[in-house]
Structure 1
Amino acid sequence: MKKIYYIPILAAFLLVGSCFEDLDDNLNPASTTTINDFIYRGLNFFYLYKADTPQLANDAFADETAKNAFISSFDSPESIFDFLKSDQDRFSILVDNYVELENSLSGISLNNGMEYGLVLYPDNSGNVFGYVRYVLPDTDAEAKGIQRGDIFNTIDGQQITENNFRSLLDPNSYEIGLATYDGETITPTGETVQLTKTEYTENPIYVQRTYTIEGVKVGYIMYNQFNRDFDPELNAVFGNFNAEGVAELILDLRYNGGGSVETATDLASMITGQFNGEVFYTEEWNEDRQEQYAEPGLFNNEISNGEAINSLNLTKVYIITSSRSASASELVINGLAPYIDVVQVGDTTTGKFQASFLLYDAPAPNFSRSQANPNHTYAMLPLVFKTANAAGNTDYVDGLDPDITIRENYANLGTLGDMTEPLLAEALNDALTILRPIVPFNVLEEVGDSNMGNPLEGVMVVDQL
């Protein structure tokens, strides 16, 4: 059976207290060299691309004095981390506050409830408008009447541009200026809405539906993060699908930037069930760690709490994707592909096939939270292994291409879960031949979204050793 890693997130909260407490007030600050040494030790031991950086080689330095001189030559933890990273690494991260990172792993964030994308104007001006993808329940955005499809183009009265969007949207409270978009022109309405972020835990299961079309039961689920804390709820959805006799499934991962590898394996097992014990993915670690740590991930029949998985035993699944679908989302697609017919609908995915786990400043090999240096809160999520499916497919750096290409039309997003919503309708059309016209529209460039400040965006996580 696949080894189970576990990051004691709840224990971390109990130790730290408030999720967003500023720990700097409670520390005797560690020196930069001490933190640099942690970064070097962690990457030297676990980094997937260790071979790409000569200074990480086990024989890189003549003695400890030379190695220590190298480590102390960097004036910040960020500078040594950036130096040691491989050019092919787009996803390893270093944070200076691991409490925020732990919160993100459990789906906790400061959030006003407006999940949005940011798009360049079609006139090449460099101006940007935002479009609301969805609104989280019981948040300020919901209370203020913000809805999917709303357009905004100013923050606190200032036009959003490709150069200022990050700083404008970073504060915990800001005022959006609403606009309309007709496919060509963005027109301000003069209406404004003040939005305030509060601490929020997001349920990643955003929509679940069962449709009966021409006598066929079709299940639909929009799933927005692979979060182990909600595995029982995810399993319950598939229990309902089973009870309702679902014969076709549409899994919507268009806004899912990834998360837990174990949850991805469980979800694949919920979709199938007939491949229990067979290889879902394999692992490739660095040369030093491969023999000891590499172990295939297997289709299984229970979630992490021991509850039996509710499996549909399907031989075909439709998966809706966008350029934001990453890591664990891609693992589900790639891992299922050798076994069943996976029809990908939407846009090309991000292209992340590597996994990470959280390293604290503690002794190797565990780098554990319980032994972490109490004098700083730096931690790393380095890439530690890459995944391949049972057929050996990996290294999809340019993403996974859809079988049916369609992008969201910002002028006509539709209602999530409604059979007329364009991407869902396209999947239904292929599954059940419900013919519908596709109306051409202006495809624009997206430059960011509401998750651009999330340190875990696009990260695929295995739990700690």
Structure 2
Amino acid sequence: MKYFKALILILTLAFLTISCFEDDDDTPISTSDINDFVWKGMNTFYLYKENTPDLANNRFSSDNDYNSYLNSFSKPENLFESLIYQRQTVDRFSWIVDDYIALEQFFSGISTSNGMEYKTFRFSSTDTNIYGYVTYVLPNTDAAAKGVTRGDIFYGINGTQLTTTNYRSLLDQNNYIVNLGNYNDNNTPDNINDDSITESSQSVSLSKSQYTENPIFINNVLDVAGTKVAYLMYNGFTGTEQFNAELNDTFGVFKNANATELVLDLRYNPGGSVYTAIMLSSLITGQFNGDVFSTEQWNDELQQAFESEDPEALINRFINNNEGTPLNSLNLNKVYILTSRSSASASELVINSLDPYIDVVQIGTTTSGKYQASTTLYDSPNFRRNGANPSHTYAMQPLIFKSLNIDGVTDYFDGLSPETGNVLPEDINNLGVLGNISEPLLAAAIAKITGTGRSINKKTRSVDFLEDSKDLLPFAKNMYTDKKLPAGL
């Protein structure tokens, strides 16, 4: 659109009714300037551009029309949200942030944490009281030091009962007192109608601090009836060079131990780097180097640009090395993957993309249902980090493409589900010890491996799960990529 050249000059002028933001040097920048970045970025990259009338290339008849549109939004967040296509159903994962430093740190595995990872639940969909239970505790954190353990139940924060309206704000604080309770099943084996949480006098004071989480939470090789079974609880596709190298080294240990089976535990993994998903899948296999792992579908304009300039860029292939280092691939024809509703994005990409090639035995419950990927857009001429406007730290993380496996399977909005005989929710009253062969989900996988297990469907205390601790971070469940873009853009 030719009027954009003139628009850049127009937007440098101060408008009569305009908000301003200031950077650390107190250099003001207008809301309209940031809004201009938001609209242009979404107009170029947004996966659902064709479904969003305000992103049409012919949406504005003149520079003044465009300028008036930008000034109708008092905050960049408001403009961004207005451009999201069906927030509650289709696009649940696009975000804008006003501090891209924190976003970059998160993608490197750095965040603020007290170490207590948890899920929240209620006893029915009409219940307004919320409770939580600890799923795992990160090492070398405040929660670990103060004895918080998997399975701990809590009902309140700072003496206030958690409810549907306050639990997010209470748990989002940097410092708080966790009020502990006890799960009361009233001696009924399956029926939760009479279950309750009994308040106790116990509490623990927790503080968050900057923390780098290693996604490799547990890794060991189990000797089960003479079979070497590798077990890996992998809690994030962080994508840094360090953690990718450690992942390869871990598979080297599995390989040297002559492991012939693998249980990959992704039940708490919110996803992350597309590259790391490809790498992990290539470590599991190894016999498909160069074959199609997944393909990408962008908005119509970008799809045509890729197909014209570099169609190979739309294809992700299995690999045999990481930055030149050979992968310690296991060459497996079957893998057992443990999942829950907290398994999202890159976790689902691994399951969906491996499925056409090997036998993927999914055990647990249905995954989150995120098949789209995003990228970080900065306020720079090419939307990359280099040359970003120094006057503010806004950045966007919009959905830019959706992934398809080699058979074209995508759009699994409702998640990926285990086969009927492999459905096994975590039992809040019998969580077990992670990594122990008697932990229910791992035990179910081992039973499948040894051939001693029948259908593992069974009733559990099916409370109404809401969110996990990662859901407090809006960009935690993103699947992201740093793919180079067509030069013609």
TM-score above 0.5, yes or no: yes
Residues 201-222 of structure 1: CA deviation (Å, up to 9, x unaligned): 0000001121111211111100
Matches of residues 298-447 of structure 1 in structure 2 within 5 Å? 298-303=317-322, 305-363=323-381, 366-403=382-419, 404-435=422-453, 440-447=459-466
Tell me the equivalent position of 2:237.
Answer: 226
Tell me the equivalent position of 1:278.
Answer: 291
Tell me the equivalent position of 1:266.
Answer: 279
CA 1:438–1:46: 2 relative to 1, 3 Å: closer
Tell me the equivalent position of 1:20.
Answer: none
Answer with 172-181 or 285-294: which moved more: 285-294
Matches of residues 35-184 of structure 1 in structure 2 within 5 Å? 35-87=34-86, 88-121=90-123, 125-183=127-185, 184=195
Residues 157-180 of structure 1: CA deviation (Å, up to 9, x unaligned): 111112111111111111111111
Q: Indicate if the aligned counterparts of 1:120 and 1:162 stay in contact, CA closer than 8 A.
A: no
Aligned counterparts of 2:413 and 2:271: Cα–Cα separation in 1: 16
Q: More relative contact order in 1 or in 2 (CA 8 Å, sep 6+)?
A: 1
Aligned counterparts of 2:162 and 2:214: Cα–Cα separation in 1: 30
Q: Indicate if the aligned counterparts of 2:429 and 2:461 stay in contact, CA closer than 8 A.
A: no
1:439 Cα deviation after fit: 6.2
Secondary structure of 1:391's aligned partner:
coil
Alignment-mate amino acid for residue 73 of structure 2 = F
Number of equivalences: 441
1:27 Cα deviation after fit: 4.2
Note if 1:454 corresponds to 2:473: yes
Answer with 111-120 or 52-61: which moved more: 52-61
Q: Indicate if the aligned counterparts of 1:104 and 1:455 stay in contact, CA closer than 8 A.
A: no
1:124 Cα deviation after fit: 5.1
Select the residue among 171, 189, 205 that pairs with 2:216. Answer: 205
CA 1:324–1:27: 2 relative to 1, 3 Å: farther
CA 1:105–1:162: 2 relative to 1, 3 Å: same
Alignment-mate amino acid for residue 270 of structure 1 = L
Once superposed, what is the RMSD of the aligned Cα atoms? 1.7
Residues 272-321 of structure 1: CA deviation (Å, up to 9, x unaligned): 00000000000111111113335200000112x32111100000001111
Secondary structure of 1:451's aligned partner:
helix
Alignment-mate amino acid for residue 61 of structure 1 = F
Moved over 6 A (4+): 436-439
Q: Which one has the largest radius of gyration? A: 2
Q: Indicate if the aligned counterparts of 2:424 and 2:457 stay in contact, CA closer than 8 A.
A: no
TM-score (norm 1): 0.92
Tell me the equivalent position of 1:9.
Answer: none
Alignment-mate amino acid for residue 406 of structure 1 = L
Residues 69-107 of structure 1: CA deviation (Å, up to 9, x unaligned): 222222211111111111131111111111111111111
Alignment-mate amino acid for residue 260 of structure 1 = S
Q: Indicate if the aligned counterparts of 2:342 and 2:468 stay in contact, CA closer than 8 A.
A: no
Aligned counterparts of 2:28 and 2:107: Cα–Cα separation in 1: 25
Answer with 453-462 or 244-253: which moved more: 453-462
Select the residue among 265, 270, 273 that pairs with 1:257. Answer: 270
Secondary structure of 1:452's aligned partner:
helix
Q: Indicate if the aligned counterparts of 2:423 and 2:457 stay in contact, CA closer than 8 A.
A: no
Q: Indicate if the aligned counterparts of 2:99 and 2:395 stay in contact, CA closer than 8 A.
A: yes
1:386 Cα deviation after fit: 0.8
1:122 Cα deviation after fit: 5.3
Aligned counterparts of 1:65 and 1:162: Cα–Cα separation in 2: 44
Secondary structure of 1:457's aligned partner:
coil
